[in-house]
Every structure is written in structure tokens, then in C-alpha cells.
Structure 1
């Protein structure tokens, strides 16, 4: 099938080729190991190889193959594809490829006839890395997978992204702690056991940190003992990570991953995958040959002067995503996850690399970005970009078209800065709250193109953001050199944990302030697993190698910090019920539906119109209910949001346009639970006289009830 111009008839036939789609693959990638009636067909691309071999193993622990089969250069090569049928093989067969070819680094060739190679299209791996007598690293073995699974009629949920509340989480870390008390800790099945928690929290989608195969330990240099916890070091894009399966049987991870997706869907929760199509774990010239290097190095990687690896990823190499062969592989991979695993969306790590041509130059309208947005087999899929890379490209607000959403790094920085009290952030916070039209409206992209976030896996947790001024990454073994130094954080008087009441009160307020801002902003909110219960990493802002209590979800916090959990759950519930805070069009400041008031208006604390040049970080936002076009059921309610990011208590006035309405207090972040939030929006009405006391570092939110 031609990637650039898919034939709809071919697509339909491909999806219907199996007699029972609920039990069989819905999409069959053209390469890899394909089970047939009489055996297995093995197909692999290599343009420059002079010979190709298939290595077959009997057991996962075998150091040497039980059988080696040579591809016939004349009979088994079709163009640049080596394809061979081997009879009497079945599901579970273990294998590697091995290729002969030129060793000519100056021309981009790095063939090694002794290297055991992972099939780029393998659908599962088994076993661990081994070192041969020659010191060469031997990767885990590929597994022939059938993929049969009873989906029981499961389909993609197809929730509009504007209605999403995304929860970023690590599959292992979510349940690995003993405090999780699950039967299968740290696994796909463990996630299933915690679905009631996710459903009760109210999130609509989980965004899973990398679940495709990656080395469990760092395989570069002498760092084999360092954990590769996050997983941003891919080596088999089509295969679910074996380390998250409870069953060690080769290929069991395929079944368990599907069970997890099916269970999440039954609970109404979508599954978004964090995918890393920007580099691989093979590293640079000094890295091992595990797969791509030994098959067609000059095609799979962006090279400088034909030999040196361009490092736009910051991880040693850069995948050549806009080469036609690599582009095709990425498309087959995305379709594979969507139609064989029922995945609902993708977050593309360092997505700006997809905007680089085969020489590494940033190009306008990159074909890869447009093709992902237009691919008919991905039409129901959410696509989210991390719109920057490690080489200076920063495309927040300009990545792709309306189909592409983006992690909004500007939202993170402006919201953190405002609540920390940074001067000049008043207008910036208002713009982020209103949907970041400055970034997206000019390209006719709607507010839900902005994925709003304050914290992610990469950086401080929400608790640490208000507890530490500086990073504390000594445990990573890099003398605290790693991790970002620009955290826009504060400790409010003491670095780390403290019992000082004044400090703990301020920290509590600031977390509530940021959670309230995040979940009531136009756009799509994303929160990080554990922030709702104040998970801490003890000041570590780069816990990529911390496969331990520093990173794992401590389930005792759900009880210890039950008040914060209650607060976040109520906010999520309100957001899902209120069209006022999840519009599909931008706030304009103009009257709506014939009402005399604009859709949004901004005021100073004394009720006068706001001077955007004022130095004081205090303001009031009046947000009117959306139009009947956006809200045909008329569920939207007017809101008044009051922000006091100063260090002084203040008196605020209700804006005059709200005097004739009936209001109930929804949130007061300065009050201890349960008065901090009223889940049924039935809090006290404002005092007469329209004046309200506002504590320092606090927010109030009122909701109209008529």
C-alpha cells in the first residue's frame, strides 16, 4: 500500500481480510514475522546487505542459535526486501536476523556479520541482554506472535479531545510499590486492578509513558547497572515492553497489554501512548549494533558528512523520520497500535524532529507531520506533539494543523511564574486561562490544540514545585549536573519537608491554586500521576533512572492527603460537567447570545477594568456561559474567578455585571478542607455589599446558579 496516497479500497479489504476481526489482527504490517498455514514468513528491509541470515533459538536463555538459515540472494530477495518462508514454525518461535555488508563508516555503512539483530517489525521480545565472549552485546530475542485476542466487541471510545482530562502515568510505577496492594504489582494487570481509582478520580484518558520495548538497564559504556526507568530509549517500536508483563512466557506481554486496554475502555478511559520516533537505544558511533545499524544505518539515521550521527534528540542519534522507508515504518507502527491494540492516541516525544528533513534541516510543512494528520486509518486518533527537540527547535503554537494538539510549554511556565509571584505574568496567565489564542488562533486551530500542563514526568512533581527552589538529583549519579535548572519553583522558606505551619499553609494553597487554574482553563488539562495526592520525588527533577520509591506511586498518600485528592476529584467532576470551561472556540470579549455581557471580561480587585500594566498580580475574570451553539443543552453557568498571587491579604469586589445574579462559592483555596471546595457547587453566597476578603496566595471561584 502506498503511504502517501492510501487506496481506500485496499484499506477496507485489509481491515476485513480476517473472518472475525474481534479475534484476529485488524492490521497486518508487511514486514516482520507473519504466521501462515504451513509456517512463518520472515521479511526484512536492507538495501546494502550482501547476505542475510535467520537465527532460530529453542529457549530464551540459549546463547547460540539452534539453527541458522541463509536467505537465498536470488530466490529470497525482492528489490530491497529479503523475504523467506520457513515451514513448520509456529507462534512463540524465537529468532534474530544477521546481515553481511560493507563496514564503511565514512559512507554510512556499519554492517557487522557477527551482530545478532532485532527485527525492526518484531511484535514481541523475550529474555535479557547477553554479552558474548567477544564483548559484543546480544539483544533480547524476537518472538513470533499470533496476536489472536477476543476483544469482546471493544472499539475506540472516540471522545472529543475537548472533553478530555489526561492523566500521565508510568505503567510500572503506578502499582510497583508494596503500598499498592495489588496482585500483580508493576504490570499491565496491576493497572487493571487500579482502574476503580482512575474512574473515581474522573480522568478520561491515561497517557502511558513509553510501553514499546526498551532496554531495562542502560546498555551504553559501563552503565549496565543503571535503570532505564522512564523508557525513552526505544529498540522495538512494534512490541509492548516485556518488563511490564506478569507472565514471563515469550509473547505474554501482547495478551496482557490488550487486556489492560480492553479493561480501561470498559471503564470509559482512553489510552494514549507516549511514542519516541526520534532516536533509538543504539546510540552514536560508540553504541552497540542491535538492529537498525546492522541492517541499513544510512537510511534509519540522520548522518552528518555521511558518517557521524546527528544528535537532535540529545540521546546520541536521530531517527531519519522523513526518509520514505522510515516514514513507512512509522506509519505501519502507528496503525499497528491503533488497530491491533485499540490505542486511542499518541503523544510524540520531541516531535519537532519529525519536522527535520533527511539532512536534519527544519522544513516548513514537513510531509511526515501532515501525513499523520491525514492518514485515514488514524482518523479517530488523538495526536499530540511535544513541539520541541533537544537541538533548539521550539514549535509550540506552530506544529502541524488543527488535528495536532501540543504540550503547551508556555502554559506551564506562565502559570508557574504567576503563582510564584513573578512580575509581568498577569497578562500571560490570563492568556493561558483563556486558551492560548496567541499561539493557536492565527492558524485556525481551536483551544483544544493546547494541552495544558504544569508538571510532567520530566521535572518536579506538583508537591516538589512548592517545596524546593533547586533540583536535588545526586541519587542519579551525575553530580547533580543532569536535569533542568529553570524550574520556576519556590520553597517558601525551607528547602524540602518542614513542619512550619506558615510554610505548609502556603504550599497547600499554591497546589490548590495551580490545580484550580489547570482544570478551569480553556484547552485540555493534563495532570501527572500522583500530583493529586502530593507525590514527592524528594526534589529530584530528572528521575529517569530511579526505579524505586523515588518514582513509584505511594498509595498511602491517598489516605494521608485525602483532602487534596477530594479537591482534585471535585475539580475534575466540575470540568466534565461544565461547558463553560471547555469551549471549542476562543473567548472574544464580545457579547454572546444577545446578552449584554461579553463572554469574558477582566477586572482589577476593586471592580474597575483591569490595567494590564499594573505590577500587582491580582485580578478577577468573569466568564459567561457559552453560546447555545456550543452548549445546546444550556448546561453552562457563568463563573467569577478571583486571583490573588500577592503576599498580602486583599479586599476584592464582585464585578458590577454580576450584581444581579445569584452566586454560590465553589472554591476558596485559602480555606482548609472541606471548605476549600464544594463539589455540588452549593457553597455560601457572597456577603452583601459585594466586597470579599481574599487571603494572600489564594483563589476564589463563584458559579452562577440562575
Structure 2
């Protein structure tokens, strides 16, 4: 009888059909171009070489199969450096922009090496492609597979997380540097890191051949299949492949998933004035959405728009996603400006876009989380209507309503209650569960949590755009002084507001996402668009972990409570109906007086009573009733415990108006409410009480 023997090093690998495929006898190079009249392969000996050591011509008769040019080159191996070069018509009026002198990045390149160079003709030459040996000992690693409803996502920048000298790591600003800080992530308690772009992008802004501004965030893709070379500690060509895998494997061993922020909406080639680096020089009219057959459509706000629903581009995106999932063990993706995937080849928004549906249904992506930024730069806003139940969304409505409520904006009471309860108004009508809402108050794009309560206006002069960049609608406040202050009344209010928003975020139904550094009050000094700030403005200052250890303690215990408490992370919506015959509804809302809330009231104060889940949803019986009291007004208020809670013994869990350690009780054993059920709520404060088991 044959016995199945496990093999710890054998993994399911995925081989994309194009690019440079390493074989026993050499390398097979394959590239798509429908309109090219000739194709060349340029081989280099060293990263710094300006000219190729050898130029090989593809034979039109023997090396072209349909629209694919494919050549086997014997006796070369992993580490070989190369470019493509394509000849064809220069006919911009027909969307064709071939340049026989341009050195082109392979769209399927699995690694790049070196920097941009300028030739004697002034033309920008991109980094060189690298033939990659993808062998790696994963030691049996598999996807972590946290249920998305139980996830706590941590958005972070690979370089910025450890680049500061204060990080005190051996490999600052790298994939290996992240590994050194995994114990910190474990202590914080997050279940997933969402990495800002790690696929290849220009380190400097090269749009219009301008190479003087840092491209820190990386939202300017250059090679979708390649890990960014700038985050590798070892500068050997291709070393980033191994180091990235080491980072993923180490995070998985710690029980932390890896979600990639992917940018399938534009490339770094820009518009008509931008350089020809890859796609433009291979098949411009296929890879980009053009108007009138020649002009670049700019739904991305970055000069061009990837033609995601063209069959060839759609195929490339699928191969890329599968490549990251099966060759790098990536657990999920956040799609930047995902509404562009809902545009057809002419740029029109279409219902049931095939790209969106196919990503959701692809069996090779079935283990992954897929998250949409459900808008684009051309006015599409699809929050609540992007894809089906497989798609989660960055909930921009949550961000705006939570900020407005805690700032004290009138008319936000009902909206905040709806967001707290899982945003059923946005998702339930399509049968999508609460975990389709990725709740967020801050992201990389905008103010940090500290700056949200410290600045009324953006302060972006350091970006070199005369303060014209960045959003003007921040829904922020400084509470009396713009920026840092020692005024006690202001600092007290800011402290409370940070705790209020973090508590609201981590106790809402749906999936919370926090931004790296918010747990220790990281500041960007009022810069709300730090895309080009590769410096202390953006980097994580690890001194803050000690300076604001009270906030870190607060957040990590909130996360711990959330992960242990099914009452705040239901898989189904709250209905207001009784649970398990207890004769109390799963959620009910009250005014400070203890009476049922009149939603027409203008004041910003309320009580939410959330009952423990049913035994069907909580078979282990871990759920407990929770009372949340919100006072977003500028005055102290006296709240009454609603009658529904009179017969229950309560412990205080959170009091955002109290100084640490009284702001949170990690063991949920804080003092019970005073006799008479009256509870004093200072201005701008929140209290959370949990029923005793």
C-alpha cells in the first residue's frame, strides 16, 4: 500500500507563462507584443553597465508564436541581467509609441537591479531585469488563514517601519528589519500587516525625466511581479526575492498574515510626456486606456490608466496575483483605486465588471483576502457597492462619520451608530456581511491619529508643491492651538479624542485597520500627504513607544479584548431583535437619560447596549453584554444606565477621560457603576462597561 509522505520543502509553485523562465539548459525569454516588427534581447554582465554585452535578435519566423516572442538562450543562469527592445511604428495618433532605442523592462520580470541611467542621447534607461532562481525552503509554511471577521489589520511601510536610527535594528529599512520587529507586532496583537507597495517602483520621481523627488510611498508601479529592490539588505541582484520570502515566512511563524497593497491602476510611465520604460514600448494601446485612440486617460490622477479589462492586461493581473500568492505565500491584497477595475477599455464604469468578478472567483486565490479602495481619482465612488461578498472595502464613510462625530459635528449621531453597528446601510442590501467593511479612521494618506487632533489645516510645504497637494477636507481639529502645545486643557482633550477614536474603531462591528505608529502617537507634523518624505517625517520614531507607552498599553489591550470578545466582531448584522430568548435585543440605543434614543435629537451623546451573541454564533459562550457610553459634546453630562441593564453586574473596561492606567482595565475588572445607575461623563469622553460572567 502506498503511503503519503509529507515533504516540508515541496510547495505549490506558480509559473507565469511569460518573462524569463529558468531551465536546466538556459533561460526561456517570452514577451507579448502584437504590433512590434522586431524584438531584441539585451544581455548585461554587470548592474552598472551602460551597454549590453550581447544583443540577440528574435527571429520572426522561428521565435514568434502568435503575438508572443519567445527565445531560448542556452548557457545562461540565474542572476543574468537583461532588457527587451522592440521596433515598431511610431504612430501616437493610433496609440502606438514604439521606440527602437528604448531599453524596456520585461512586464513579467521577477526582479530588477540597479538604478536609472541616462544615455548619451538623454533618454532614461530603467533598472535591469534579473533572471531569478525561485527555489526557497519554506519549511512547510502555508497561509495563516485567519478568518477575516477576526482580523485586526496594521497598515505599514516596510522601509519606514525600521529606517530610523531609533529602531536599533541590524538591517534598517529592509524586509529583514521587519523581521527584527516582529516581537513588537506580536505584543501589539495585530493579525495582519498590510504593506504599502512592495512591488518595484522608481525610487525617485522620473515623470517627465525628473529624478529629484523621492517616491517614498511607492504608488508608482514599474514591475508588478518584482519585490522592491530598495528594501533588500543584500544588494546582490535578485537578493530581494529571498529576503522578502524570509520576511513572509517569519511573519507567518508569528501568526501574522501579509496583505499587499497593489496598484493595478496606472504605471510610472505617465502620459505622453513621460518616459518609455516598458508597457508603452511593447503595446501601448493594449496596456493603457486611451481616448480618441491616442491620449492617455487619467482616471488614476497619475498620468495614465492601466487598461485592466483588456483580456491581455487582465491575464497579466491574474498571473501576477497568483505569482504573489503561491510563490511568496501572500495572504491577501488591498487594491489601490480599485474602481478603475470597474472601467471598460474605453474608461466607462460598467456593472458587474469581469475583472472584479474573476478575482473573487479565481480558485487559485480562494485562500486570500481581497480588499478594495472603492473609488478612483476621476469621481467614481463605489463604497458599499464594489463586488460581492468576497470583496471587503476600505470604508471611507466610516472614516468621515467617526471623525465628524468625535469632532462634534452636528447631525452625525445616527451615522456614527450605523458605523458602530457594521454599516448595514452600505453592505447588507447585497447580502454582504459586516466584515466587508474595513473600518478605518486614518490611513497612510492623510493625517496620523495624533495630527488629526493637533492640526486644523495641512502643513505640506516640505513637499515642494506650495501646499497645493493633499486633501483639504480632513475633518480634524486642533482644540485651540495649531500643532504641539503644553496647554493642559488642550493636551487633555487631545488625549481623550485619540482614545475615543481608537476605542470606537476597535469596538465596531466590521474589521478594524490601524496605521503604523498611531498606537504611539506618531506625528508627521501636520503633513497629510507625505508621499515624498523619505525622512523623519514619515519614519517610525521608536522613542515614542516609551514616551507614549500609555497609549500603546491602551491599544494593545483593546486589541486583546476584541480578539477575545465575539460580541464586537459578529459575522451577522445586529438587528434590534431578541437573542436566544433573553427578551432583550441584540442592540438597543438610549439617550443619556436612559430612555430610548430619539434619532432626531441634535446632541451628540448616546448609549449603545450590545447583547452577547447567540449560542449559534458563539458556541463557547464567551460573549458578554457591553454598554458603550459616548459624550462627544463639550460639556460634562450625567448618564443613566438604561433599565435594560439594571439587573446585570457590570465592570468598567474603558474610561477615556481617566489617566493611565485607569483608562483601560485589561482584565475587564474595573469598578462597577455607582449606586443609582448615574454615571458622570466628562466632555469628549467614552466609557465601556462589560457584564460579569
Indicate the TM-score class for this superposition, using the shorter chain for normalisation.
Answer: over 0.9
Q: Deviations over 1:466-518 (max 9, x none)?
A: 00000000000000000000000000000000000000000000000000000
1:481 to 457, 468, 482: 468
Cα RMSD for the two superposed structures? 0.8
2:389 is aligned with 1:402: yes
Q: Provide the secondary structure at the position in 1 that maps to 2:247.
A: helix
- Give how far 1:37 is off: 1.1
Q: Provide the secondary structure at the position in 1 that maps to 2:392.
A: strand
- Give how far 1:221 is off: 3.0
CA distance in 2, matches of 1:24, 1:130: 38
CA distance in 2, matches of 1:178, 1:271: 25
2:88 to 90, 101, 109: 101
Q: 2:338: which partner in 1? A: 351
2:239 is aligned with 1:252: yes
Q: 2:488: which partner in 1? A: 501
- Give how far 1:25 is off: 6.5
1:268 to 255, 258, 261: 255
CA distance in 1, matches of 2:618, 2:517: 33
2:548 is aligned with 1:567: no
Q: Is this contact kept in 1: 2:8–2:139, CA < 8 A? A: no
In the superposition, relative to structure 1, how do residues 387 and 605 fare at CA in structure 2: closer, same or farther (>3 Å)?
same
Q: Provide the secondary structure at the position in 2 that maps to 1:221.
A: helix
Q: Deviations over 1:504-544 (max 9, x none)?
A: 00000000000000000000000000000000000000000
CA distance in 2, matches of 1:486, 1:27: 44
Superposed, 1:617-628 pairs within 5 Å as: 617-628=604-615
Q: Is this contact kept in 1: 2:440–2:513, CA < 8 A? A: yes
Q: Deviations over 1:263-299 (max 9, x none)?
A: 0000000000000000000000000000000000000
Q: Deviations over 1:599-633 (max 9, x none)?
A: 00000001001010111100000000011111010
Count of matched residue positions in the alignment of Structure 1 and Structure 2:
688
CA distance in 1, matches of 2:478, 2:126: 45
Q: Is this contact kept in 1: 2:124–2:209, CA < 8 A? A: no
2:316 to 329, 338, 343: 329
Structure 1 length-normalised TM:
0.97
2:278 is aligned with 1:291: yes
Q: Is this contact kept in 2: 1:167–1:528, CA < 8 A? A: yes
Q: 2:3: which partner in 1? A: none
Q: 1:136: which partner in 2? A: 123
Q: 1:4: which partner in 2? A: none
Q: Is this contact kept in 2: 1:24–1:149, CA < 8 A? A: no
Q: Provide the secondary structure at the position in 2 that maps to 1:677.
A: coil
Superposed, 1:86-485 pairs within 5 Å as: 86-221=73-208, 223-485=210-472
Q: Is this contact kept in 2: 1:47–1:296, CA < 8 A? A: yes
Q: Deviations over 1:319-369 (max 9, x none)?
A: 000000000000000000000000000000000000000000000000000
In the superposition, relative to structure 1, how do residues 685 and 24 fare at CA in structure 2: closer, same or farther (>3 Å)?
closer
Q: Deviations over 1:551-587 (max 9, x none)?
A: 0000000000000000000100000000000000000
2:591 is aligned with 1:601: no
Structure 2 length-normalised TM:
0.99
Q: Is this contact kept in 1: 2:209–2:275, CA < 8 A? A: no
- Give how far 1:429 is off: 0.2
In the superposition, relative to structure 1, how do residues 311 and 20 fare at CA in structure 2: closer, same or farther (>3 Å)?
farther
- Give how far 1:225 is off: 1.4
1:682 to 664, 669, 673: 669
CA distance in 1, matches of 2:654, 2:159: 34
Q: Is this contact kept in 2: 1:25–1:148, CA < 8 A? A: no
Q: Provide the secondary structure at the position in 1 that maps to 2:417.
A: helix
1:651 to 638, 642, 645: 638
Q: Is this contact kept in 2: 1:537–1:550, CA < 8 A? A: yes
1:666 to 622, 636, 653: 653
Q: Deviations over 1:126-173 (max 9, x none)?
A: 000000011100000000001110000000011110000000000000
